[in-house]
Structure 1
Amino acid sequence: MSIKSLISEIQNAFEGVKLDGGISLNMAEYADSYEYDKECLKRAANDEKENWQNISSEDIENCTVTFCFTDLRGFKFYIPAYMCWALRNFDKSHSCSIDSTIYAIDPDHFIFKETPFNELFNSQQIKALCSFLEFAINNGDFFDDIVANKNLKKIRILLKN
């Protein structure tokens, strides 16, 4: 699958997903700073909340702890933005955001303890997540293909049950 086709699949699957009161990028960064970095708090007032496709590349590249400090609504809002960003930048960026996206797409991620992975995402979204992991596996020079493969297997097992 081409990068363009995969980005289109992700965009279609997550169309209309909003932050809906979830924890935003800069609030996640603020939490990571133990609520010390007041600049994050100021930037959070301007975080995109309506259309994940409007999140800046700079924010995604620099906000590397999002999936550790956001909530379910934030996770669902940010994962398509991070996947699309990773697909556009994997061969030119050294940001941890590329692999942290792969690490986040894990049904065993702590965020899914109360609401399971397959209940948060619909079938079209799960397909897009799996397609992204497959792309990462096939491009192991740029992605953590070992973890991508492990997470893809976990998702497939989850879907069989």
Structure 2
Amino acid sequence: MKKRIAEVLKMNKKEKLIQEIQEAFKGVKLDDGIGLWEAQGHDDRGSEVTCKKLRTKDETNDWTKISLIDMYTCSSAISFFDAKGMCFHMPKYLLLALGAYKNEEQKLIDQGLIEEFYKPDIEDRLTTITRYLSDKSNSQDKEFYRQYFSLFTKKQLLCVVRFLEYRKDEIGEYYTSDEAKALGISATAVNYDKEYLQLQKAIDYWSNNFLIQ
């Protein structure tokens, strides 16, 4: 019974976060920012002409219409957005990571149209960016990565933090699960989990440096 209640509470928390993301990023447009295909072109070291051609394939007005196939195909594009591109695509990445498109993803996988291996990893990107932002020895890179989020509103930034918190809680819950107990894993072992610690550092940095208490 307790396990069932915990599952319901977790589902409610996720659904609430999904709704918050949808509302916070509602109406955000790409404008003249770098889109998904254009960013992938930069990653592939395409010429200026090539990247401009790729841009014609980009969704620019409604981030909810960005196809999952395009996101998987352009899985490394996330490293080549500008501020407008980051703000426009962020909600889609967050929802993808939260499993909001799980059924659609599975159908595409079954049809051989996408492969799980190429799923974009927004969590890894956010923790990587946090490491750069935390590096006091490189002010140039720090300013570059801060600009990534210069167009985010407070509500949008808060969604990013809530996502990181949700992922951290998921890891923490595993260490107190029956599965972990059956394997003889102590609940305190979470304090040595690399991913858990990285997420906590990211949460602390974003909360303190982007002033979103």
TM-score range, shorter chain: 0.7 to 0.9
Deviation at 1:105, TM superposition (A): 6.2
Task: Pick the structure with greater CA Rg.
Answer: 2
Aligned to 1:49: 60
CA distance in 2, matches of 1:114, 1:104: 10
C-alpha change, 1:72 and 1:112, in structure 2 (3 Å) is farther
1:130 aligns with 2:161: yes
2:133 to 82, 100, 108: 108
C-alpha change, 1:75 and 1:117, in structure 2 (3 Å) is closer
Q: Determine if contact 1:71/1:111 at 8 Å carries over to the other structure.
A: no
C-alpha RMSD over aligned residues? 3.3
1:62 aligns with 2:73: yes
What count of residue pairs does the alignment treat as equivalent?
158
Q: Which has the bigger relative contact order, CA under 8 A and spacing at least 6?
A: 1
TM-score, normalised via structure 1 length:
0.78
Q: Determine if contact 1:82/1:101 at 8 Å carries over to the other structure.
A: no
Query: Where is the helix percentage greater, Structure 1 or Structure 2?
Result: 2
Deviation at 1:85, TM superposition (A): 1.0
Aligned to 1:95: 118
1:151 aligns with 2:175: no
Deviation at 1:33, TM superposition (A): 1.0
Q: Deviations over 1:72-92 (max 9, x none)?
A: 1001111111111111168x7
Which residues of structure 2 form unaligned runs of 5+? 1-11, 107-115, 135-140, 175-194
Question: Which AA in structure 1 matches 2:57?
Answer: N
1:79 aligns with 2:103: no
Q: Deviations over 1:88-108 (max 9, x none)?
A: 168x74435124443366382
What SS is found at the alignment partner of 2:29? Answer: coil
What SS is found at the alignment partner of 2:158? Answer: helix
Aligned to 2:152: 121
CA distance in 1, matches of 2:124, 2:160: 14
Q: Determine if contact 2:168/2:199 at 8 Å carries over to the other structure.
A: yes
C-alpha change, 1:157 and 1:115, in structure 2 (3 Å) is closer
CA distance in 1, matches of 2:23, 2:212: 24
CA distance in 1, matches of 2:76, 2:153: 24
Deviation at 1:148, TM superposition (A): 2.5
Question: Which AA in structure 1 matches 2:126?
Answer: I
Question: Which AA in structure 1 matches 2:39?
Answer: A
Deviation at 1:118, TM superposition (A): 6.6
Q: Determine if contact 2:17/2:163 at 8 Å carries over to the other structure.
A: yes
TM-score, normalised via structure 2 length:
0.61
